[in-house]
Structure 1
């Protein structure tokens, strides 16, 4: 691949930034929301449909792909982009979070994490070096450092020890990543909700030097108020000229608040997972299509949305196919939710560029406060 990885901030409004991440596989407009393609698929979606919503980049999952179908198999078949028919940028997480949350019988040491697969119980060892190797085999454009993410709440001593281990792993990840033109390596800031630990982590990462920086260890149960409390200062500890990625976030109001605080990239399974359970995200908030109030409603889910679910189908139809467990229900609602998220990002980018973010945010919250349309 020709070309380099780069980041340009094109506009600012308060702490918020609007810009572009350049990669050999295409540009990523920021602030960006990355749909999650855990096992080389955004569930219930074709790749071209995901692209049609406005997504510039997808996220793939190191832990799941290393177990099935294996990184070696994907490499032999031409890499993750060809394997899943997505020719634009892909970010892969390091596998660390899933090892901590999904694997059984895990043992954490300085070397890495030894664990048993949640699929078949097979034994594996994931280290910073192995995580870098897996992500190289996958061929992802943005690679994440291998880190440990402690569950909150935790004592400062536990969070500090975990953060310092992650910083040692960050150096090993950097060393193992090597020189890969056109590919980027992101460091992950840890430190829980402790400002001093966050600052120490950011200083360690900046000293190592990365192409971008993630704020990790949030959206793990601490609540929005605590998360925003950290985001009020944490992005400011990171270099101005690099992308800032908030991992695992989130709900629409989490995203808006994160962008206000200087975050450039986010990912979350919520829009696709919600779509498979009959939940639609709209300008009036979350709508449960399973509810009986929709069964005779001829109106679209969201009159302002241009997705196929809203353009061609009624709430009554969506209610019917979801209640009947028809696959098209998951397909249509997932498409709608991903479209809503990408429309939200487009609105945020435009608002920052125009210097009207406060006005946009006020309108966003007003729409949600008004709630769903009245029943027929």
Structure 2
């Protein structure tokens, strides 16, 4: 399933090939996020044209709407969204617990306040309650009550039919106490064991379906002993690969992921969940991660924040109003080949949907291409030069 190819001589970075029923993924690889079976505002065909090798969707959202059974009836996630390549689904734990705490995507990652075991965003209602068996939560759509357990998450993901699926885990924030982190880790390990058992049962029951690779998820917050213990405890369970999850402060990203990859086997792929900013990609690769996903490129594009080699910028600012050049000279994306900054400025200022489409195409291409460049440089030994060149320009502003 996974074949490591090149190891960098001076870091944990490596290249490899991840083989799935719907094609191979050359790693390192960025996996764009299509939360509800779509990368917002962009055709699946366009995602393939800009270089995406795989897409990731979210089990929580697809369970609520349109329903995992409907997607199974349609032939699985790829067939449903007209995407012929590999697909990933996360377990739903991120959304169940982050929305439950009211933080949505941020999860108090920059929190510096007093530790607490009842973390909730100011002015928000708790939508999720965790116990040793699973999580009871209210839908963010209509307030209806639902329950996820490891077995439920596995059944949903089997119905969705992605090539790579993730074990159900408890996501904590950096505001939780050390004691709660330890309790959560015990719970996540027990859930991982239940996920493996249910995955095996469903694989046998649905033997006519392509095999789905199950990745265990390593938690442990910012504590080295917990992260290392979590990784070591997951390895004997026989997972096909591993995800590295949890809220991680940017300045600690490399150190924490390195703790984890040190404990994981070399012949299994490692996926870093929720990381996709340009500078973070170098850190992730150097710490030994093979794939990573993040909704950021598409989300920030919808607000007119676009990436360029000299750093990101806001296309709505007045300086772009009469700039008839592309977003970035030399960029091979469809947007830069056919549209000007002035036109995109107009689209964003007037609220036209096409602005989000063209901006997302550029941002996703920028990140996918950057990781492609990193992968090629690891193979030919020029990684240090590529990193220095990119970051030197990107930080120049």
Shift of 1:19: 1.0
Residues in 2 aligned to 1:337 and 1:185: alpha-carbon distance in whole angstroms: 29
Residues in 1 aligned to 2:217 and 2:75: alpha-carbon distance in whole angstroms: 28
Aligned to 1:59: 56
- The normalised TM-score by structure 1 is 0.94
Shift of 1:76: 1.9
Shift of 1:55: 0.8
Aligned to 1:10: 5
Shift of 1:125: 0.8
1:326 to 334, 352, 359: 352
Are 2:270 and 1:252 aligned? no
**Preserved contact between residue 12 and residue 355 of structure 1 (Cα < 8 Å):** no
Report the secondary structure of 1:299's partner residue.
coil
2:74 to 72, 77, 80: 77
Are 2:190 and 1:161 aligned? no
Aligned to 2:391: 365
Residues in 2 aligned to 1:255 and 1:270: alpha-carbon distance in whole angstroms: 13
Shift of 1:296: 1.1
Residues in 2 aligned to 1:77 and 1:306: alpha-carbon distance in whole angstroms: 35
Aligned to 1:306: 332
Shift of 1:358: 1.2
Are 2:252 and 1:226 aligned? yes
- Residue-by-residue CA offset, 1:59-82 (whole Å, 9 max, x unaligned): 010000000001012112222111
5 Å-filtered alignment, 1:1-376, equals 6-13=1-8, 14-103=11-100, 104-178=126-200, 180=203, 182-217=211-246, 220=247, 222-371=248-397
**Preserved contact between residue 40 and residue 65 of structure 1 (Cα < 8 Å):** yes
- Residue-by-residue CA offset, 1:33-77 (whole Å, 9 max, x unaligned): 111110111101000000111111100100000000010121122
**Preserved contact between residue 34 and residue 55 of structure 1 (Cα < 8 Å):** yes
Name stretches of at least 5 consecutive residues in structure 1 with no aligned partner. Answer: 1-5, 372-376
Give structure 1 regions of 4+ aligned residues with deviation exceeding 2 angstroms.
Answer: 179-182
State how many pairs are aligned.
363
- Residue-by-residue CA offset, 1:124-167 (whole Å, 9 max, x unaligned): 11000000000011111111000001011332211111111101
